Every structure is written in C-alpha cells, then in structure tokens.
A and B are shown apart, each in its own frame.
Chain A
C-alpha cells in the first residue's frame, strides 16, 4: 500500500514538476506573479475537447492545435496585459491583481461556453501494468514518461544553450540585461510561449486521466507555486524537486488522513517553509536591500 502510494505520488509529482517549471520560467526571470497561468492549465484540455471530441480530427492534430492555442493565449496575456503595465512601471501588486482579473475573465468565458460541470476527455478505463502488487495505468505511465522527458530535456537546454544563459541573466537583473543589449521584449515572448507549452501539456496529461472543469487551474497553480517556493525561487531545479516533494506528500496525506486534506497539507508545508526557510531547499540566503 505504502509503495503504491509512493509511486502514485512520484507520478503526480512529475506532472507537478512540469507545471511548476513552466511557472518558474516566468516567475524566476520576469518576477511576474503569473496567476493567469492557472487558466492556461485548463484552457488546453478544453481546446482538446473541442477539436478531438467534437470535431474529430484525431488525437495528435488535436493535441498540437490545443498546445498552440494555449501558447497563443499565453502570449496574448503577456502582450496585452503584462507588457503595457511593465511599460508604465506598475508595481508587482498591480500586475498580480490584473492577472487575477484575467483569470476571472477567462474562467467565466470558458464556463459560459462549456458549462460548469466536469468534462471527461477519455471515457475508457485505461489498461494497466501490474508489478507484484503495484498497479500503474498506461495513462499514469504516459504522464510520467512525458513529464520526465520534457523536464530533463529542458534542464539540459537551460544548462547548455544561450537560452539558459539568458534566463539566468534575467533572473539576476532585468535592468543589466537591457544595458548589455539583450532584447528583453523578444525574450519575454519566448519565455511566455515556452511556459504556455509546458502548462498545456501538463493540463492535458491530468485532464486526460481525470477530466476537468473550469476551476481546476487554481489548485494546480497553487501546487506549482508552493513547489517553486519550497524548492527555491530562482533555481529551475528547485521547482522540479518541490514538485516531486508535493506529489509524494499529498499522496501520503491521502493515506494518513483523507483526500480532502490534500491542499491543507500543501499549505501547512508552505507556511512552515515561508517561516523557517523562505529561500527554499536550494536557494541561497538573500541579503536584505
């Protein structure tokens, strides 16, 4: 039982890590508290629903289109909401509140068109693999393999490409990047598109398993944020470690209490970290300015 829950936790954690990495990509570099990331998470399965279940264009074309549309939505939010506010030198609070406003708008537009109820993407029960007394469904296996593949690929990319160098430079100082002639506006577009890509896949992987309603994004966003903070803000690996910790912990919480206490466990963990180790597991202690 314990082992089964541990494995479930690790699989869940891999998706959390993927989603958290997408959030970290924006938060670490631009310091935008991108709450609207939550709506991107549920936007992609809804687009998939439209193209796959309603228009019947096949699994991979539908998936591709839904990922593309999610990336486009991410860019629209960046170009029409965040960028003008950045131009006006608005504070991070103003940006966060605007992001909350965008979230409210998109959630309710989706609810208007698709209804508030839970939608199922895959009505079949997926087959499963049994190893001893541990059962892993094929959907879970796909979740794990795709997430880990993307995470590893992306971490390598960050380490060895100019993209990673620029991302780390922006993490340290946006102003200095500007001074050294980096085109921040273009780079922000790349970042938002990439983060849209990650969250689209994460959203699809979970929704294909358990379905979705317009409100699923918020809890997931909170998991991603908590993962980032306990892992260490500023470190991309931190988001990954945090994601796995939360996945495992939530899975064990289900075992010890019940599934309804999941989010409480996450937030107790967050508050403990905020008080005792605000820089997270990997973070370095920052000097006060």
Chain B
C-alpha cells in the first residue's frame, strides 16, 4: 500500500514541477534547461530552513518560494536579452554552474556527501509531518494548490498576454505591454513554485545530494512536460503520470533492475522523438512547440 502512496507522492512532486515549467515553456515559449537548478535551490533552502533555522511548515514554504524566486532573477535578467538557441544555452549554463556550486562548495552544502537526516516539517510548530500518509496529504494539497493557481493564471488576462508573447512578441509590444517584464514575472512565478517541489522532495526523502539536480533531471522534467503536452494544465499532469508510472509498469512486466533504468530512458527518448515528429503538442497539450 505504501508503495502506491509513494508513487502518488512522486507524481504530485512532478506535477508541481511540470505545471510550473509549463508557464515558462508552454505559455511563453521560453525553453529552459535550468529547471532542475531551481528544484535543487528549493531543496537546499528547505534544508536550511528546517535543519538550521528550525522554521515551521508554512514559513518554510514561503521562504523557499521567495529565495528561489530571487535566484531566478539571477538567470532571468541576463538571459532574457537572448533569443532562441542562445537563451537555451544560457539556461543550460546556469544549470551547470548551480550544480557545480552545490557539488563543490562542501562547507556550505556538504557537496557530494549530501545532507541526511532532514527533520520533518512541523505544522503550526507541533503537528509533525513525517511518514507516507501525512506526506501524501501535504503533497496533494500543494499540488492541487499549484494546479489551481496556474489554472487561474493561464485563464486570466495575464495568461492571455503570455499567449500573445508566445505567438508574436511585436504585436504585444505594439499594444503597450512590456514583453521583458512579463517574461521576468513568468520566470519568478514558475521558479517559486518549482522551489515548493524542491522543499517537498527534500523533506519527504530526508536526504538530498547534488546528483538529484543535474542537467539530466532538467531534461527529464522537460521530457515529462513535452510528452504530456504544452499550453494547458492537462498536458503536464498527464506527462508527470506517464514518466512516473512507466518505470513501475516495466518492473511489473518483470524487467530486471539492471537494465530497467536504461530501458526507461530509451523509452522516454523514443516517445519524445516520435511525438516531436508526429504530434508536437504532446499527448494532451494544445500548443505546438515553435
């Protein structure tokens, strides 16, 4: 039973990751390969809040969101001056720099040894959230909250401007909206929520090390999003379920563990390749990648 609950918790974490990445990639057409960097920053800030500052649950979440959002400005301000391939490269550079810092600044992050024994967050200072079932509830609430916020955002006037930016920046400029400001806002909102996913991961697994936040993880988040589809809420949710449930199905088919990890990656790669060729909007998305 715990096994199924664990899968649902992981799906919740990836729903948060992909739904918030969708605002950046699907709604505004900013292909970022730096999502795992924000995921990692969120996780490490959560560790800071829980282990050293001993903050309760809600202040921790708020602080994680704020700090991750501030870090996103660090990427957004220089990279938004770039277009196309160069923008992707800048986000990729950011991803690698963050990883290198997490990995090598041993006195701050304990580097490759990782941080273990992350204490459980406490709601209002006394209800301790640890174990699978409380985390299922917490992660579901946070995932539903994220979905609700982003649903509102996408269908608001703000979301319509973003669609405008995605389709034609010049016409958005011509009606007097600052494209750059909107892009910065999208960066900040999306990475603040990715920070929540980092918090959930760190406090659920109670152990983190930098290898969970590599470029491969960024590509994984991107594939989950692209397989599911861009531009709406359904797409990212479907994608998250697909990438989390598929390896478990492979296990049921009886594939030995030694090859399952590689097989899984091969299947994701094939799915992505075929979708890009025949259905660029993904399984359930509405927006075709430009």
- Which residues in A have some Cβ–Cβ distance to B below 8 Å? 33, 81, 84-85, 88, 90-94, 96-98, 100-105, 107-109, 111-112, 218, 222, 225, 229, 258, 260-261, 263-264, 267-268, 270-271, 274-275, 278
Contact = CB atoms under 8 A, between A and B. Distances in A.
Contacts of A85: 276-277
Contacts of A94: 276, 280, 289
Contact of B90 (A98, A102, A271): A271
Nearest to A288: B83
**Closest 4 A/B residue pairs (Cβ):** A104-B269, A267-B93, A105-B269, A101-B272
Nearest to A219: B96
Contacts of A81: 273
B101 interface: yes
B21 to A, nearest CB: 14
B89 interface: yes
B219 interface: yes
B168 interface: no
Nearest to B290: A91
Contacts of A263: 96, 100
A102 B85 contact: no
Nearest to B106: A260
Contacts of A261: 100, 104
A38 to B, nearest CB: 11
Question: For chain B, which range describes its interface: under 10, 10 to 19, 20 to 34, or 35 or more residues?
Answer: 35 or more
A229 B90 CA distance: 11
Given A270-B93, A274-B90, A91 B289 contact: yes
B88 interface: yes
A110 to B, nearest CB: 9
B85 A92 contact: yes
Contacts of A103: 269
Contacts of B104: 258, 260-261, 264
Contacts of B273: 81, 98, 101-102, 105
Interface of B: 31, 78-79, 81-82, 84-86, 88-90, 92-94, 96-97, 100-101, 103-104, 215, 219, 222-223, 226, 259, 262-263, 265-266, 268-270, 272-273, 276-277, 280, 289-290
Contacts, number: 112
Given A112-B259, A260-B100, A271 B272 contact: no
A108 B269 contact: yes
Contacts of B223: 101, 104
Given A90-B280, A112-B263, 15 more contacts: A85-B276, A90-B276, A91-B290, A93-B289, A97-B276, A97-B289, A100-B219, A101-B273, A104-B266, A105-B266, A111-B262, A112-B259, A229-B89, A267-B97, A271-B94
A237 B227 CA distance: 39
B226 A97 contact: yes
A256 to B, nearest CB: 14
Contacts of B93: 267-268, 270-271
A275 B280 contact: no
9 contacts: A84-B277, A98-B272, A101-B276, A105-B269, A105-B270, A112-B266, A229-B89, A263-B100, A275-B81
A231 B100 CA distance: 24
Contacts of B89: 225, 229, 270, 274
Contacts of A274: 78-79, 82, 86, 89-90
Contacts of A84: 277
Contact of B269 (A33, A101, A225, A270): A101
Contacts of A268: 93, 97
A268 B94 CA distance: 9
Contacts of A267: 93-94, 96-97
A112 B222 CA distance: 23
Nearest to B90: A274
B84 A92 contact: yes
A102 B262 CA distance: 14
A105 B93 CA distance: 23
Contacts of B79: 274
B265 A104 contact: yes
A93 B31 contact: yes
B276 A109 contact: no
Nearest to B101: A264
A229 B104 CA distance: 26
Nearest to A225: B89
Contacts of B263: 108, 112
Contacts of A101: 223, 268-270, 272-273, 276
Nearest to A100: B219
A93 B290 contact: yes
A97 B79 CA distance: 20
B89 to A, nearest CB: 7
A255 to B, nearest CB: 16
